[in-house]
A and B are shown apart, each in its own frame.
Chain A
Amino acid sequence: MSEVPANLKYSSDHEWVRLEDDGSVVVGITDHAQAALGELVYVEVPEPGQVFNKGDACIVVESVKAASDVYAPVSGDCQATNSALSDEPELVNQSPYEDGWLVRLQPLAQAELDELMDADAYSRFLAESDS
């Protein structure tokens, strides 16, 4: 049973979004996603300043056997990336919601934030997709 913190929002691509006090959002991948990917060996983050539309591939997470795109859950411009990941990509596996955060975005469209799922909806989504 994967962890789904109550205070976060979620996308159907298994990203979480945390709204910060200053209006920016921090983005990462969920516990379900990190377990599915396996041990990460590399995380490719974008350059600060790059602008993404919702759904654009903005990050690549690499395990030994696969490289997966992480998609921008909302449109935004990239303000910061988690520099600790270049030496310790395993932070994403060990602490997907805290130390393993990926990027911070300044969202461009408030409405998109409302389209994200809350913790209950995401938990139900996970239960339904499990075959």
Chain B
Amino acid sequence: MPYIPHTDDDVAAMLAAIGVDSTAELFDEIPDGLRIDALPGIPEALTEAGITRLMRARAGRDGGVVSFLGAGAYEHHIPAAVWEIANRGEFYSAYTPYQAEASQGTLQLIYEFQTMMVGLTGLDVSNASLYDGASALAEACLMAVRGNRKSKSRRVLVSRGVNPVYRAVTHAIVRNQGIELVELPLDAAGSTDIDALTTFDGEDFAAVCLAQPTFLGTIEEADAITDWAHAHDMLVISICNPTSLALLRPPGEWGETGADIACGEGQPLGIPVSSGGPYFGYIVCRKALMRQMPGRIVGRTLDLDGRTGFTLTLQAREQHIRRSKATSNICTNQGLMVTAATIYMSLLGAEGLRRTALQCHANTSLLAGELAQLEGVSVAFDTYFHEAVIRFDRPVPAIVDALGEHDILAGYDLSEHYPELGNALLVCATDARTREEIDAYVAATRTALDRLQAA
């Protein structure tokens, strides 16, 4: 019986102590008509060896591609120490740190994480994580609507440069509270159209959301947009790739007074792409908005003997106390992923993270530059972080398929969400990609284009 330690003697003694003849009697309060005797829809148990064989076979169908796909999840080299430590049972099988004295490891780690996120973003207070970048944006919008003292608006401006799936998720989550998202268009350079901002003059919005870099890899003129937003009583929400924060000017330094809420996806910080999750969302805000921030927050304090210790604080915002008036319903967040991220950031430091960012930028530049040498291929935008939009003179799916035959995951087809870009592919060459792999991509593309041309 997997994981059940009871011997027959144990069971007999326990039944006797309870005063029943069988375990079935323990379920006698369940109405007869509801009881079921078996679970025919579940297969027979497998042994550890059996399930291992099965999973290896399944995994075997999935491997062996070289990925040039980003679009919100990025493959970086993760030092071995990160998961060796994060997988320790004391981290892995610990509960939410409600009993502070029994959870100083987790609590101190979260305090260090909060400090690192404040350092990266340049804002004041971080929480202990949310589910992912998309839901973090939703929570940031809810926060802005609640917390904007100068505006009662329930509308939020969101740049078209923000990940389209983030926009869809945010809409799914906030619409039930009557909050509307309005799109800000992009300009010819692939970033938010500053000139178009004037069309919204005189209108009331709680906040403006912009991504840095954008989903298309381009870099926003964040200063101008931030100042415009503040001049119009709007809060500024940034969605930043955390690796880029080691290199680019952080949201805390945007414009005159900086962004108000910084959120985004933490996956690039030591978490593998893992088929889509678990990742974690981060959210950092200005001190004035702190009490509107959802999720757990750890504070440092003293114990009875004057020793430094850590505990959950500002809990009155959370569901277990505030119930229907809580800032959010979030309870469990993404604790283990934060553990990994904190170890990753500690191993890399600012310098390591900056160089990783530069390496990604260099690799993508190299790939983009070489592809642009091919006929009918061009790079759409001049300025980018670690993803570039490549334009082709023919539809993208056939090219992606052709590269797939060479076991190359070519990139993200933008035609569904950005049809205005034409035949466009978003490519990403991170620090995990080698020169050889980049060369192989270019060669395979050349072959594919020749073949398609001839056809």
Is B a genuine binding partner of A? yes
B-contact 0/1 string along A40-56, CB 8 Å cutoff:
01101001000000000
Of the stretches B214-222, B231-239, B315-323, B399-407, the one at the interface is B315-323
For residue A108, give the distance in angstroms from its CB to the closest CB of chain B: 23
Cβ distance B150 to chain A, nearest Cβ, rounded Å: 11
Bound CA span A50–B413, Å: 52
Interface string of B287-331 (1 = CB under 8 A from A): 000010000000000000000000000011100011001000000
CA distance A66 to B291 in the complex (A): 14
Report the Cα distance A62→B290, complex, angstroms. 15
Interface string of A73-85 (1 = CB under 8 A from B): 0000000000000
Min CB gap B82→A, angstroms: 34
Q: Given the complex of chains A and B, what is the CA–CA distance between A78 and B322 in angstroms? A: 24
B291: A residues at CB distance < 8 A: 42, 44
Min CB distance A130 to B, Å, is 25
Q: Which B residues are CB-close (under 8 A) to A124?
A: none
Q: Is A67 an interface residue (CB 8 A)?
A: yes
- Cα separation A65 to B325 with both chains bound (whole Å): 15
Minimal Cβ-Cβ distance residue in B for A68: B316
Which of B315, B317, B322 meets A64, CB within 8 Å?
Answer: B315
A interface size (C-beta, 8 A) = 10
Kindly report which residue of chain B lies nearest to residue A67, judged by CB atoms: B316
| Interface size counted on chain B using CB atoms at 8 A | 8
**Partner of B322 from A42, A63, A67 at Cβ < 8 Å:** A67
Residues of B within 8 A of A64 (CB): 315-316
- Name the distance in Å between B302's Cβ and chain A's nearest Cβ: 15
B321 contacts which chain A residues (CB < 8 A)?
65-67
Assembled-state Cα–Cα distance A92/B51 (Å): 62
A42→B321 CA distance, assembly (Å): 14
CB distance from B291 to the nearest CB of A (A): 8
Assembly CA distance A41 to B290 (angstroms): 14
Residues of B within 8 A of A65 (CB): 315, 321
Closest chain B residue, CB of each to CB of A64: B315
Per-position contact with A for B429-450: 1 when CB-CB < 8 Å, else 0?
0000000000000000000000
Chain A residues with CB under 8 A of B315: 64-65
Shortest CB-to-CB span from A68 to chain B, Å, is 9
With a CB–CB cut-off of 8 A, which chain A residues contact B149?
47
Q: Within the complex, what minimum Cβ distance (angstroms) separates A93 from chain B?
A: 16
- From 78 to 131 in chain A, residues with beta carbon under 8 angstroms from any chain B beta carbon are none
Closest to B313 in A: A64
B6 CB to closest chain A CB (Å) equals: 38
Give chain A residues whose Cβ lies under 8 Å from the Cβ of B317. 67
Chain A residues 22-53 with CB under 8 Å of chain B are 41-42, 44, 47
Docked pose: A65 CA to B322 CA in angstroms? 10
Q: Chain B contacts of A41 at CB under 8 A?
A: 316
Residues of A within 8 A of B316 (CB): 41-42, 62-64, 66-67
Q: Chain A's nearest CB lies how many Å from the CB of B80?
A: 41
For the complex, give the distance between the alpha carbons of A67 and B314 in Å.
10
The CA-CA distance from A66 to B318 in the complex, in Å, is 10
When chains A and B are docked, how far (Å) is the Cα of A62 from the Cα of B291? 11
Q: Which residues of B contact A62 (CB under 8 A)?
A: 316
Interface centre among B149, B315, B316, B317 (most CB of A within 10 A): B316
Chain B residues with Cβ under 8 A from A44's Cβ? 291
A47 — which chain B residues lie within 8 A by C-beta?
Answer: 149
Those 6 A-B pairs whose CB atoms lie nearest each other, nearest first: A67-B316, A62-B316, A67-B322, A67-B321, A66-B321, A65-B321
Which B positions have Cβ atoms within 8 angstroms of A?
149, 291, 315-317, 321-322, 325
**A42-B291, A62-B316, A66-B316 provided; 10 other pairs, C-beta below 8 A?**
A44-B291, A63-B316, A65-B315, A65-B321, A66-B321, A67-B316, A67-B317, A67-B321, A67-B322, A67-B325
- Can you list 18 pairs linking A and B with CB atoms under 8 Å apart? A41-B316, A42-B291, A42-B316, A44-B291, A47-B149, A62-B316, A63-B316, A64-B315, A64-B316, A65-B315, A65-B321, A66-B316, A66-B321, A67-B316, A67-B317, A67-B321, A67-B322, A67-B325
